[in-house]
Amino acid sequence: MAPRLQLEKAAWRWAETVRPEEVSQEHIETAYRIWLEPCIRGVCRRNCKGNPNCLVGIGEHIWLGEIDENSFHNIDDPNCERRKKNSFVGLTNLGATCYVNTFLQVWFLNLELRQALYLCPSTCSDYMLGDGIQEEKDYEPQTICEHLQYLFALLQNSNRRYIDPSGFVKALGLDTGQQQDAQEFSKLFMSLLEDTLSKQKNPDVRNIVQQQFCGEYAYVTVCNQCGRESKLLSKFYELELNIQGHKQLTDCISEFLKEEKLEGDNRYFCENCQSKQNATRKIRLLSLPCTLNLQLMRFVFDRQTGHKKKLNTYIGFSEILDMEPYVEHKGGSYVYELSAVLIHRGVSAYSGHYIAHVKDPQSGEWYKFNDEDIEKMEGKKLQLGIEEDLEPSKSQTRKPKCGKGTHCSRNAYMLVYRLQTQEKPNTTVQVPAFLQELVDRDNSKFEEWCIEMAEMRKQSVDKGKAKHEEVKELYQRLPAGAVKALCKECVVERCRILRLKNQLNEDYKTVNNLLKAAVKGSDGFWVGKSSLRSWRQLALEQLDEQDGDAEQSNGKMNGSTLNKDESKEERKEEEELNFNEDILCPHGELCISENERRLVSKEAWSKLQQYFPKAPEFPSYKECCSQCKILEREGEENEALHKMIANEQKTSLPNLFQDKNRPCLSNWPEDTDVLYIVSQFFVEEWRKFVRKPTRCSPVSSVGNSALLCPHGGLMFTFASMTKEDSKLIALIWPSEWQMIQKLFVVDHVIKITRIEVGDVNPSETQYISEPKLCPECREGLLCQQQRDLREYTQATIYVHKVVDNKKVMKDSAPELNVSSSETEEDKEEAKPDGEKDPDFNQSNGGTKRQKISHQNYIAYQKQVIRRSMRHRKVRGEKALLVSANQTLKELKIQIMHAFSVAPFDQNLSIDGKILSDDCATLGTLGVIPESVILLKADEPIADYAAMDDVMQVCMPEEGFKGTGLLGH
């Protein structure tokens, strides 16, 4: 047994046999041998930070033990970057170029294509000097063919584990940070390569793309009336197969070639009949290439989201594919062997990772190409096209069973088949001399780098070893004297901790059994229910903490007291969760709520007290806190008082509470010439109290100062109070105003008086406010409001979907129907006493007006306006968070996720104005906080051809626009 483990077990055995109260001097000497002698010898289990004799405490175990050379440097072994024997060379992923790397490896392992590219003439001769290459110049390929030549030569004979394809990617002008459509890249690059090689004189080079990848089929239309056939010949480089609804590759091919009926509006114009006739149309395969590329259409357009999505369904395919049943001319050789499976890992069409399973044509072995990493695929059963997903799919279907020689994949998007021949593949693809010289030059640079890295590693190791010897010698000089005495209190405490740790699980079962029995008489103790649920975890954490403290100050030797304040601060949060403190009231006595505590037996409390000796103790006869009882009675009295006040005020102001028969400025009532004004905020706060008087404090004053400027002038014109500012004010009848003055303290009286102008026949009506309007402050408020509307961030707007071209109207205007349902404000908890709303003065001394600056007043006014103009969402609307600098296009994407309506199907309007400029910001379009935008969704298009047109017009994708693949 190891010395460290022996000592640990000895400590446990000793602590179990000695009770803390029975510790003697002999026991203390035993503790010394167990706990301190290992420290002196450097074999203790932990760092004894409080023991100066423990060399482990200053890290000697790092220097006196065996040293790992890797700890002296952070330089990787350069040999890890070297290509392994009989393996392939990987390609660096430049960010999001894994789709390029997979195709480069597939094309590289097409020996005929590689051989043809090696035969292309090169401008490398400009870099040749005599029999070698100029050392001071780096070779820079000038054309796509030269880039591909150089890449293939490095993939074939480089000594590196992986190479950098950045020159090739840069020549194509690809964005290394953007994931692109791999299938589109394959098509465009093959077209570019064919066009580039078509200028070559050598026919083996000029026609290599057609010979390897080009086939031919015909669109054949047969008239049902006269039987005339019409053929349209077309070349293809891959067959695009629909996989939706299919399980096998052969089913996908059959659907591609199936007959289509042309009837009704889709009838065919027959030149022989000179009229539209019913007809049939299908595709006939005329010839197949040596390399048959089958594109599985996994990425399709989703009408609901307006984006492409990936079909994650399993498709089965075999290693041998007989195409003879599908071609028109029988009798040829149409048996193909699987040579590559290109895979997209991930459930989204816009993210994920591309890898490839490719067959070595020379050895017949399969390899997984994953950027820099190349792995030989071995095992009893080869599983092609199977890779773990990067992210889980919502519907993980079970993988179907596959027979021998067949495979199935939910991530394969392209299958490459090679025509089966009896001839052995050409194994003598030689790298041309000029390319081999370039490869040799790169290999020399790599070897130089390896030597340099190895030397740097060696120097770091030598320095580290010298330092190691120096420190080791220093440790050997350090004196470590014996300790003659230990503190008895520390030994007793350590014994207690070790014993309790050992018996915690057993005591937990004992306490649980004791809790099941009913408590008899008055011998019980009150314990918090929360403490009972977690007492074992609390005990374990407490013992671990105490054990750590005991080790740090073992034997009172160098017991540090420097961190007392820090430890108190760190444990402040833990002290709030100490055992049985959950039933303490704010005054430190037993809480009055019996629902939070439970009575346990004396035996159970005794067990618990062993672990929590400092826990507050409450015998069953202990009375609850007297102060809390008084406060509880006062609270009940206050609630009763609040209910009485609320009932009195509700009875006195019935119309104000229910908004019945409210006066309106736009339709001035005939029976009065004077109306009074209060802030709508006061009305809302008062209604909140009247509805729930036990949860809210009474409203004691009318704070009309919020409607006035710092100079005492009114902030609203008569016209604005009839329109946009109508939600900020509440109109009061004169009789109501008299009652309000009796019930509340009013800081400022605001009234509107109607005056008829004219002698006999009044020709004009004027409205005069007291106090009068302050034009300067009114203009400043409007400017600030306009600035806020242009610069808001994270504000709420509402989108209302129109059904059948008609807007679903609200049941009633929310401002006229407040009492019919509980508003959002009513659901808020009442603020505790002393926490007063800055917008509303509830104190009796609120009549005195506070002087505030103009800027502070604007902020003060904005708070009132924001609270008063809160929009009440109705059915059919959804709230969205937007910013003023956000574009309409970005808003449409938010709406798409909220309503499942594609952006190009959205017709948006606000206040009758159509929103159509996708590049305009919401601020310039007049979309302000609390706006309601109407959404009219276009109906789905049934015709897929029409849908394609919509995609092209409304959802343009950049793709490879502007890259070298399109000739730029």
Q: Which residues are catalytic?
A: 98, 353
How is residue 484 written in tokens? 């003659």
Backbone phi and psi for residue 8, each to the nearest 5 degrees, phi listed first: -65, -45
| Distance set, CA 345 to CA 46, 179, 293, 299 (Å) | 47, 13, 20, 13
Q: What gap in Å lies between CA 153 and CA 155, rounded to an integer? A: 5
Q: What gap in Å lies between CA 431 and CA 119, rounded to an integer? A: 10
Q: What gap in Å lies between CA 507 and CA 30, rounded to an integer? A: 28
| Distance set, CA 389 to CA 101, 386, 409, 864 (Å) | 19, 9, 12, 53
How is residue 629 written in tokens? 């009882």
Q: What gap in Å lies between CA 886 and CA 97, rounded to an integer? A: 31
How is residue 602 written in tokens? 């004396």
Contact criterion met (CB below 8 Å) for 873 and 798: yes
Contact criterion met (CB below 8 Å) for 367 and 358: yes
Rg (CA), the chain: 43
Q: What gap in Å lies between CA 339 and CA 337, rounded to an integer? A: 6
Backbone phi and psi for residue 515, each to the nearest 5 degrees, phi listed first: -70, -20
Reported as half-sphere exposure (CB side, CA atoms, 13 A), residue 691 has a value of 21
Element (H, E) at 366: strand 366-370
Q: What gap in Å lies between CA 919 and CA 896, rounded to an integer? A: 17
- 3-state secondary structure (DSSP) of residue 664: coil
Contact criterion met (CB below 8 Å) for 165 and 97: yes
Q: Are strands 745-746 and 406-409 parallel, antiparallel or unpaired?
A: unpaired
Provide the CA 258 distance to its chain's centre, in angstroms.
44
* b/e sequence 228-264, b meaning 16+ C-beta within 10 Å: eebeeeeebbbbebebeebebbbbbbeebeeeeebee
Please write down the long-range contacts of 685-692, taking CB distance under 8 Å and 24 or more positions apart. Answer: 685/837, 685/840, 686/649, 686/656, 687/657, 687/818, 687/819, 687/826, 688/825, 688/826, 688/828, 689/642, 689/646, 690/646, 690/649, 690/650, 690/657, 691/822, 691/826, 692/826, 692/830
| Distance set, CA 502 to CA 11, 499, 507, 508, 812 (Å) | 12, 5, 10, 12, 70
How is residue 302 written in tokens? 């989703």
| Beta strands per DSSP E along 476-531 | 525-528
Residues ≥6 apart with Cβ < 8 Å to 260: 280, 281, 282
* Residue 344 one-letter amino acid: H
Contact criterion met (CB below 8 Å) for 341 and 354: no
Provide the CA 474 distance to its chain's centre, in angstroms.
53
Q: What gap in Å lies between CA 123 and CA 120, rounded to an integer? A: 10
Contact criterion met (CB below 8 Å) for 40 and 32: no
Q: Can you spell out the DSSP letters for 245-278?
A: T-SBHHHHHHHHT--EEE-GGG-EEETTTTEEE-
Backbone phi and psi for residue 277, each to the nearest 5 degrees, phi listed first: -135, 155
Q: What gap in Å lies between CA 741 and CA 686, rounded to an integer? A: 14
Kindly tell me the burial class for residue 943, based on how many C-beta atoms sit within 10 Å of its own C-beta (0-12, 13-18, 19 or more).
exposed
